[in-house]
Amino acid sequence: MEQGRTSYLYVFALLLWLAAFAAEVRQIGRWAWALAKSVERTETQVEMLNRQARENVGLVKQARYQSQELEFLDSLPNILPQDKGYLRTQKAISDEVQGLRRKLSRDLRDSLHVIVDAKANKLYFKKGFKLLWQADCSVGRGGSLIDKKTGRRWVFVTPRGEFKVMAKAENPEWKKPDWAYVESGEPIPPPEDSSRIVLGELGPYVLNLGDGYLIHGTKDESVLGRPASHGCVRLGADDLRKLYENASIGTKVYIIY
């Protein structure tokens, strides 16, 4: 009897173990199924991100191409003539440039003229299109000055445009203008006061371009090649002498930027 009871308990324990094992297997199965679903969702999201990344790369390439195309169009001079649907070819542009050069050559007629490049602070003395010599110069330094008492304002720039030598002089006197007194904090004397006359300030020569603008010398040649004047064009002594000797009254002076 005792042996039968033991066998019964053994079988009952085995059944309980099998039931627990089966429950554990089912739980593991549910976990595996959930994990598989999670992996599937992750793979789908990864594929979506990859697709979006490829699309973004394509958009970046397209934007770069359009940017390069716009830069190319901007680099072409006069890209839209009167007929806006017509893009001029490089040959047409070249022909136009040559035409302008011929016209300018006819206008200059191989005459002597001066070009002042105010951006580079360079002066070029030319005959037609032939460069005879060049020199460092100093043009207007920019900026302005205001007289606090009267409110008058002076701007220290060299004007752009076409000028001509209207007068020349050796050992010129400088009549000190009002702005020079305001700049140094001195009282302004009457217009005809003899104290305004200063010798040696302009160098040994001066070429008058009109409207108060001159080509003259400088006491500090170390600043040549940089903007340093109050609007006039400054040259070193040797170059000023050479210009004075070769540029006659009426010689054209072109100031460009």
- Class of residue 124 by CB neighbours under 10 A (exposed 0-12, middle 13-18, buried 19+): middle
Token pair for 134: 């060049």
CA distance linking residue 235 with residue 219, whole number of Å? 10
Catalytic residue among 113, 137, 216, 230: 216
Tell me the one-letter amino acid at 8. Answer: Y
- Angle (CA) 136-252-94 rounded to 5° is 85
Residue 195's contacts (CB-CB under 8 Å, 6 or more residues apart) are: 176, 189
For every residue of 163-225, DSSP letters joined together read: EE--EEEES-EEE--HHHHHHHTPPPPPTT-GGGEEESTT-SEEEEEETTEEEE--S-GGGTT
Query: Annotated catalytic, 113?
Result: no
Is 137 annotated in the active site?
Answer: no
Q: What is the SS3 assignment for 28-62?
A: HHHHHHHHHHHHHHHHHHHHHHHHHHHHHHHHHHH
Q: Residues of 180-209 as b/e, b for ≥16 C-beta within 10 angstroms?
A: bbbeeeeebeeeeeeebeeeebbbebbbbb
Say if residues 243 and 104 touch (Cβ distance below 8 Å): no
- Annotated catalytic residue within 113, 137, 230, 232: 232
Q: Which two tokens stand for residue 233?
A: 């064009």
Q: What residue type is 10 in one-letter code?
A: Y
Q: Write out the catalytic residue numbers.
A: 216, 232
